Structure 1
Amino acid sequence: MELIDQSLGQLARRIPGATRLFDAHHLDFCCGGNKTLRTAAAAAGVDAAPIVEELRQLAGRSGTTSERDWQDAEAAELVDHVLTRYHAVHREQLPELIRLARKVEQVHGERADCPHGLAEQLSVMAQELESHMRKEEDILFPMIVRGHGAMARAPISVMRMEHDDHGVALRAVEQLTGGITTPAGACTTWRALYTGLRTFREDLMAHIHTENNILFERFAPAAVH
């Protein structure tokens, strides 16, 4: 099958570096991973041809990557990776980001480019993400680890829908921060906040991609369109 007719999720699984390429072209590979490259590019108004060429180059260099290919990992190992690399990390990231956002809003509230409402948005995200992760830790992941993943289609469907909600919340953060672009004259706290936000964004997108396109695909494949 031609690269352009494969789903973003399939390409992201197979080609190291594809996720960064898709992100650079504003193609949603995590929540919209079941869309083909052709469909996603058309919807975004992006020319797919140069993306296909870059994917070919990345595929040709895949033998030199140091990234772990989680596609072939055992389900229990993949679950442990998600818990340690993403769940634990998000629980460290968000309280600090909320603290920094509150400080920036308190000190620089008079500036037009101050991210008003960011602390509240992050607080809501933290609550929703914590609830989501608890469901996975208490219900879905134990099913998978015990070898009952084939019976988990219903909870997987719920988790995918909540991932979509996380994607919407992340876009709201981007809107409040001008694409998480540090403004001129920003103080050290403001710069630290946006650096942390960019890292959190990358981690959350990688988190959703790992679950939607790798772990969940094993037990409840999404229809490609």
Structure 2
Amino acid sequence: MHQLLDQTIGHIACELPGATRVFHANRLDFCCGGDKTLREAMASRKIADPGPIVMALQELAGQQTLDGRDWRKASPGELIDHILTRFHDKHREDLPELIRLARRVEHVHRDHHACPRGLADHLAQMQQELESHMMKEEQVLFPMLRRVDAAQVPAPVAMMRFEHDQHGEALDRIDQLTTEITAPSDACNTWRGLYAGLRQLREDLMQHIHLENNILFISAQDLHAA
């Protein structure tokens, strides 16, 4: 047990297939907070008993690797292609619909005590920031990494890490506006559909950041150090 507790949560997410599902279920940040040990991550969430989480992680040993493969063994180009199609394209597809649903929920249920007031505007701001971030990656950083032009990598990587932290803060704000994305018992189907989409967005964005922070960028920094 102690061996897992003293490993960083980002390392566990890379090393143990399926671990990200356990972290999502327990609200443990393995992307922006990937440099914390599992013990520290649980302490920050006020999880007193590590046993169930450690047992769940141990049961995952031997299962399929992340997204069906171990992305640490992929070339930068392969991982970049995966990030572009699995995450960049999906964020661009999902966010407009989530904004539309949020505006409808806020309009129809504006008098409900649990109405997520301000959610649509927050998602619209997230959309703008994500689009700007993804364009920087697509036009500047990713082409560098495809060329393995390590001498130019550190500054863009540092900027992307900083913006990833901001995306993590934006996800925290969604939790605040939605009671941790928990719909009230009398929520309509539109409201429930919105929250299902928000949970998927959170999972996708955290996975997206994890692959870049804990795998792609680490590889780039190792190349620069060499």
Q: TM-score, normalised by structure 2?
A: 0.91
Displacement after TM superposition at 1:49 (Å):
4.0
Aligned to 1:179: 180
Letter in 1 for 2:55: E
Q: 2:54 matched to 1:52? A: yes
2-side partners of 1:96 and 1:30: how far apart? 25
One-letter identity of the residue aligned with 1:44: R
Residue 147 of structure 1 aligns to which amino acid in structure 2? V
Aligned counterparts of 2:18 and 2:135: Cα–Cα separation in 1: 30
The answer as to whether partners of 1:100 and 1:190 remain within 8 angstroms in 2 is yes
Question: Which segment drifts farther, 96-105 or 150-159?
Answer: 150-159
CA distance in structure 2 between the aligned counterparts of 1:50 and 1:135, rounded to whole angstroms = 40
1:21-60 aligned within 5 A: 21-46=22-47, 47-59=49-61
1:43–1:190 distance in 2 versus 1, CA, 3 Å: closer
Q: CA deviation at 1:175?
A: 1.1
Give the equivalent residue in structure 1 for 2:12.
11
* Letter of the structure 2 residue corresponding to residue 167 of structure 1: G
Question: Residues 108 and 65 (structure 1 numbering): CA distance in 2 closer, same or farther, change over 3 Å?
Answer: closer
Whether 1:116 aligns to 2:117 is yes
Alignment check: 8 A CA contact 1:37 1:48 kept:
no
Taking CA–CA contacts closer than 8 Å with sequence separation of 6 or more, which of the two structures ends up with the larger relative contact order? Answer: 1
Distance 1:21 1:86, change over 3 A: same
- 8 A contact 1:33–1:213 mirrored in 2: yes
Partner SS state of residue 111, structure 1: coil
Taking a change above 3 Å as real, the CA distance of residues 88 and 64 of structure 1, as seen in their structure-2 partners, is: closer
Contact 1:150 1:220 in 2 (8 A): no
User: C-alpha deviations, 1:52-103, integer Å up to 9, x for none?
Assistant: 33322212x3269872221211110100100000001000110110011111
Contact 2:114 2:184 in 1 (8 A): yes
Contact 2:17 2:64 (C-alpha < 8 Å) held by counterparts:
no
Deviation at 1:153, TM superposition (A): 1.2
Aligned identity (percent) is 57
Measured in 2, the distance between the counterparts of 1:189 and 1:42 equals 35
Unpaired runs of 5+ residues, structure 2, are none
Deviation at 1:191, TM superposition (A): 1.6
Please identify, of 15-24 and 88-97, the stretch whose mean Cα deviation from structure 2 is larger. 15-24
> CA, structure 1 residues 56+83, in 2 after alignment: closer, same or farther (shift >3 Å)?
same
Partner of 2:63: 62
Separation (CA, whole Å) in 2 of partners of 1:171 and 1:65: 24
Query: Partners in 2 of 1:53 and 1:112 — Cα distance?
Result: 38
Aligned to 2:103: 102
1:210–1:34 Cα change, 3 Å: same
Work out the number of aligned pairs and report it.
220
Q: Which amino acid aligns with 1:88?
A: D
Q: Residues 66 and 198 (structure 1 numbering): CA distance in 2 closer, same or farther, change over 3 Å? A: closer
For structure 1, list consecutive stretches of 5 or more residues without a partner in the other structure.
none
